[in-house]
């Protein structure tokens, strides 16, 4: 059950936000700027590559792998970018019974592909820097002759190992309030009762992605304009202003999206790899922050993969088993909701009576963020998007479309991810209250 009154009560939102997720998201732009500045100070600006690597392997877990998937979407087919997830896990022995058990991620293990060698680049990214498996992976890559870059907190075991294997060390930027974040009722940072599976910092993605993009821009893996990364921080700041807690729900796009997803099972569809990366991130954040399941998929494949959801029990037109039963004590049934994410960089139509720069004729500010596309929008659509609308309409399933009109793919990705990150946090806070 969603407490929509909480969304318009900034004081109540602050009290409910035990691990300061909203504050962390609001500081995303500052973390990007700090990460870029520290990367230059670490020697990235003095890097003189001889050419692009054959493949870029990005090892880590959580949002580090999400950053790798986003990098792959931005690189396209010009370069091979492969996320390297953990392949195994082992318990970490406790040195003292009085100490709490180590986090689960400390015992993860990674393995290089058999083909990785001197022509390839391995990027290891960690928010903690204490994973023994990543240290072993760095040693394995050094033995194979791979070029190595490590993003980890200064002074961590992984940062120390980077010096031993002659890697380029880049510092990981922690949240500004990481040292004084209040503990919740369970005596730990974050939510839940699993001390070895703590909640991840929702803005850690940007601390992983910013140095990764700065590196790949320098290597020519991602064709980014020279000022694209600095503008990314500005976009994150603009989204934080629009989605701030004291903005009313009817003017706050993240609160509006959270309210719209309440009581639904979202199908997160996307057109194109950039929007697909944003949809995958949103599904993960809905599970992590709001405790809600969601299915993400790329058009046109999602139409066939998720078609059965429309005719099953979650479809709006599904028949109840007993129409005359008493529903007073029953919770509201869950229904499907399709959220379609797109990047639409086409020019606005010209001529008398044509729509303005916003969708549906509404004016769009320079930093207006992703706009909700009205159902009767006359702009050209791909056949996959048109068929998605027809499928949803045929089964009385609500389809909401959000589109970023930024021509630069990175900026479109940032806008979509920033909006949906705030929405996932707001939905979780309102639902748990």
Q: pLDDT tens for residues 249-280? A: 889 999 999 999 998 999 999 999 999 999 99
- 366, pLDDT greater than 50: no
- 367, pLDDT greater than 60: no
pLDDT at 335: 85
Does residue 6 contact residue 12 with C-beta atoms inside 8 Å? yes
- 330, pLDDT greater than 60: no
- Among 48-52, 173-177, 181-185, 398-402, which is the least confidently predicted range? 181-185
pLDDT at 92: 79
Average pLDDT over residues 5-25: 91
CA dist 11 → 246, 387, 428 (Å): 9, 43, 16
Q: To the nearest whole percent, how much of the chain has pLDDT over 70?
A: 84
pLDDT at 63: 97
pLDDT at 188: 42
* Helices of type H across 2-128: 4-7, 10-16, 21-26, 28-41, 63-75
- 389, pLDDT greater than 90: yes
pLDDT at 384: 93
- 186, pLDDT greater than 70: no
Average pLDDT over residues 384-397: 94
pLDDT at 96: 67
Average pLDDT over residues 195-204: 91
Q: With left for phi above 0 and alpha for psi between -120 and 50, is residue 205 left, alpha or beta?
A: alpha
Residues 325, 260: Cα–Cα separation, whole Å = 28
pLDDT, tens digit (0-9, with 9 covering 90-100), for 22-50: 999 999 999 999 999 999 999 888 888 88
pLDDT, tens digit (0-9, with 9 covering 90-100), for 164-178: 999 999 999 998 875
- 342, pLDDT greater than 60: yes
Categorize the per-residue pLDDT at 140 as very low, low, confident or very high, splitting at 50, 70 and 90.
very high
Helix orientation angle between 273-285 and 409-432, rounded to the nearest 10 degrees: 20
Average pLDDT over residues 322-328: 50
Q: With left for phi above 0 and alpha for psi between -120 and 50, is residue 192 left, alpha or beta?
A: left
- 401, pLDDT greater than 50: yes
pLDDT at 347: 47
Residues 6 or more apart from 127 whose CB is under 8 A from it? 62, 63, 64, 153, 172, 174, 200, 201, 204, 207, 208
- Among 204-213, 294-303, 376-385, which is the least confidently predicted range? 376-385
User: Within 13 A of 369's CA, how many CA atoms are on the CB side?
Assistant: 23
pLDDT at 50: 81
Q: What Rg do the C-alpha atoms of the chain give, in angstroms?
A: 23
- Across the chain, mean pLDDT equals 86
- 344, pLDDT greater than 90: no
Categorize the per-residue pLDDT at 331 as very low, low, confident or very high, splitting at 50, 70 and 90.
low
Categorize the per-residue pLDDT at 433 as very low, low, confident or very high, splitting at 50, 70 and 90.
low
Q: Give the residue among 73, 61, 150, 159 at the shortest CA–CA distance from 110.
A: 61
pLDDT at 404: 94
pLDDT at 304: 95
pLDDT at 394: 93
pLDDT, tens digit (0-9, with 9 covering 90-100), for 74-118: 999 888 999 999 999 988 776 666 667 788 888 999 999 999 999
């Amino acid at each position: 059950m969603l407490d929509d009154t909480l969304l318009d009560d900034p004081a109540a939102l602050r009290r409910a936000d035990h691990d300061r997720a909203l504050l962390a998201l609001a500081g995303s732009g500052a973390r990007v700027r700090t990460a870029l500045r520290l990367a230059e100070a670490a020697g990235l600006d003095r890097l003189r590559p001889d050419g692009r690597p054959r493949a870029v392997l990005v090892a880590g877990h959580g949002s580090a792998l999400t950053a790798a998937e986003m990098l792959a979407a931005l690189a396209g087919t010009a370069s091979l970018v492969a996320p390297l997830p953990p392949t195994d896990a082992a318990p970490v022995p406790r040195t003292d019974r009085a100490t709490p058990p180590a986090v689960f991620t400390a015992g993860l293990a990674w393995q290089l592909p058999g083909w990785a060698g001197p022509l390839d680049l391995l990027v290891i990214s960690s928010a903690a820097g204490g994973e023994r498996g990543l240290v072993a992976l760095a040693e394995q890559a050094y033995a194979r002759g791979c070029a190595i870059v490590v993003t980890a907190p200064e002074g961590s075991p992984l940062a120390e190992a980077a010096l031993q294997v002659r890697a380029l060390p880049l510092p990981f930027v922690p949240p500004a309030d990481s040292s004084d974040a209040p503990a919740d009722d369970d005596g730990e940072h974050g939510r839940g009762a699993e001390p070895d599976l703590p909640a991840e910092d929702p803005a850690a993605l940007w601390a992983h992605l910013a140095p990764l993009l700065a590196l790949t821009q320098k290597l020519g893996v991602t064709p980014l304009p020279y000022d694209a990364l600095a503008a990314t921080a500005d976009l994150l700041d603009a989204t934080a202003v629009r989605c701030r807690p004291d903005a009313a729900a009817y003017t706050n796009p993240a609160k509006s999206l959270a309210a719209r997803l309440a009581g639904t099972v979202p199908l997160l569809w996307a057109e194109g790899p950039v929007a697909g990366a944003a949809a995958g991130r949103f599904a993960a954040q809905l599970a992590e922050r709001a405790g809600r399941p969601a299915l993400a998929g790329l058009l046109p494949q999602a139409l066939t993969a998720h078609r059965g959801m429309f005719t099953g029990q979650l479809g709006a037109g599904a028949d109840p088993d007993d129409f005359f039963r008493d529903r007073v004590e029953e919770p509201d049934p869950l229904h499907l909701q399709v959220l379609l994410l797109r990047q639409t960089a086409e020019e606005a139509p010209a001529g008398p009576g044509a729509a303005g720069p916003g969708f549906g004729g509404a004016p769009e500010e320079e930093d207006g963020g992703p706009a909700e596309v009205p159902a009767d929008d006359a702009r050209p659509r791909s056949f996959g998007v048109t068929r998605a609308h027809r499928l949803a309409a045929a089964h009385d399933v609500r389809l909401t479309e959000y589109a970023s009109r930024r021509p630069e793919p990175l900026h479109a990705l940032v806008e979509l991810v920033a909006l949906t990150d705030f929405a996932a946090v707001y939905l979780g806070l309102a639902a748990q209250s």
